[in-house]
Amino acid sequence: MAGNFWQSSHHQQWILDKQDLVRDRQHDLNILTEEEYQKIFNFFASIIQVLGEQLKLRQQVIATATVYFKRFYARNSLKCIDPLLLSPTCVFLASKVEEFGVISNSRLITTCQTVIKNKFSYAYGQQEFPYRTNHILECEFYLLENLDCCLIVYQPYRPLLLFVQDIGPDEQLLTYAWRIVNDSLRTDVSLLFPPYQIAIGAMHIACVMLGKENLKPWLAELNVDMDKIQEIVRSIINLYEMWKSYDEKKEIQGLLGKMPKPKPAPQR
């Protein structure tokens, strides 16, 4: 593992340029609007989150799985691999990389079947989870290849803990900012900005929500690009704005129907 973020493959290969990201998504954005695309990614981030929780994984593992998912589709169209197959594959790989321990194949498949049936029936109706162990193992090779074996992901959680400690222990600020970091995984910020900047952006939003003023003098002392922090804040606020008017249970079936799909479907 790279000793620090600046020497890591995360910094050197996986902090992407916004224009490159838009260009690489162009195939999907010819079919979906930007908002529809983001809604689909929100939905699969929820699947990864619920799968991780059902498998009793730490949030760090779930966050890494979500970043793998976003990195794959940053370079590939949705039609390359069904996101319903890539989601558990990312969870499977992240659990090994984050040294949580290998999830048994049968437990992973059983959990997928239960989660899709019980938690996401509003999206898939009576359809069962269509994939088996061999599909996930095959998909894992493809995922590794596309990630260029860059598997260490630096998350904003550690810098967030250090920053809050530096300001002065504040449990309420930490709780709010931690949740905002979790929410940030549903935006593109993990592909575009270093984790310490995401942590500062989350603290900034948390302070506004809590009406705290003690961040301003602390921020003034930091040697940080405030334009980038503002971009991160805008991305997360845009997500919250979208959530206000978005009813996933009503809309997601139509969005999944419109989404570019791989062919052929797996044989059971």
Please report whether residue 256 resides in a domain: no
Per-residue pLDDT of the chain (268 residues; tens, 9 = 90+): 345 887 777 877 778 888 988 999 999 999 999 999 999 999 999 999 999 999 999 999 999 999 999 999 999 999 999 999 999 999 999 999 987 677 898 999 999 999 999 999 999 988 899 999 999 999 999 999 999 888 889 999 999 999 999 988 889 999 999 999 999 999 999 999 999 999 999 999 999 999 888 788 888 888 888 999 999 999 999 999 999 999 999 999 999 999 998 876 555 4
Q: Which 8-state DSSP code applies to residue 55?
A: T
Note the pLDDT of residue 2: 42
Are 143 and 161 found together in one domain?
Answer: no
CA distances to 48, 122, 159, 183 from 55, in Å: 10, 22, 26, 20
Domain-ending residue, one of 104, 119, 147: 147
User: Residue 1's pLDDT is what?
Assistant: 39
Region of 125 (left: φ > 0; alpha: ψ -120 to 50; beta: rest) is left
pTM of the model: 0.93
Q: Indicate the number of domains in the chain.
A: 2
Task: Show the domain range for 72.
Answer: 16-147
- As a whole number of angstroms, the distance between CA 48 and CA 25 comes to 21
With tokens 């989150």, the residue in question is 49
Same domain, 143 and 51: yes
Whichever domain contains 209, its CATH number is 1.10.472.10
Domain final position from 147, 176, 194: 147
Task: Clarify whether residues 62 and 171 are in a common domain.
Answer: no
Question: Do 33 and 121 reside in the same domain of the chain?
Answer: yes
**Same domain, residue pair 116 and 174:** no
Are 167 and 117 in a shared domain?
no
Query: What angle is formed at CA 111 by the lines to CA 107 and CA 112, rounded to 5 degrees?
Result: 120
